[in-house]
Amino acid sequence: MVPKQTPQQALPKIRQLLSQGQSCRLWVTGTSMVPFLRSEKDAVILSPMTLPARRGDILFYLRGETRCLLHRVHKRLPDGNYLICGDNQTITEIVPPEKVIGIASAIERNGRHFSAKNCLWRFLSLLWILLKPIRPALLAIIGWLWRVFKG
């Protein structure tokens, strides 16, 4: 188990566990994966990559040499690279497979775990990818509804 710390702080331990074929918990920090993953409330269970990632999978990867991110695969390109984007973003980036550290195999929310392969989770994830062009408007509506009903 990786203690609650930033991805950068946890990176050496995560690399060690994944290289040994083990899984580990990583607490989500930041807002790039909202509305699917909530900062400091949700965690992902990272596992080693044994097969190429598929559309909708969440990868933990390096941007540059030290910045670690969790973002969703939108497409696997013919050259083997991944087109990736955060759920709360509209700009994609290309990530080579050698920058990928692990894949989210499960999500932990409110003390409960569910598989990242859960049918409903995958359906909603793939739908969210298709809605990328209108995400800013959708997120604004979600935020407004949240403030009105939780206010």
The pLDDT tens digits of the residues spanning 117-129 come to 999 999 999 999 9
Q: For 40-95, what is each residue's pLDDT tens digit?
A: 999 999 999 999 999 999 999 999 888 999 999 999 999 999 999 999 999 999 99
**What Cα–Cα distance (Å) separates residue 2 from each residue in 32, 42, 88, 126, 133?**
21, 14, 25, 29, 36
**What is this structure's pTM?**
0.90
What pLDDT score was predicted for residue 151? Answer: 63
Q: How far apart are CA 121 and CA 108, in angstroms?
A: 13
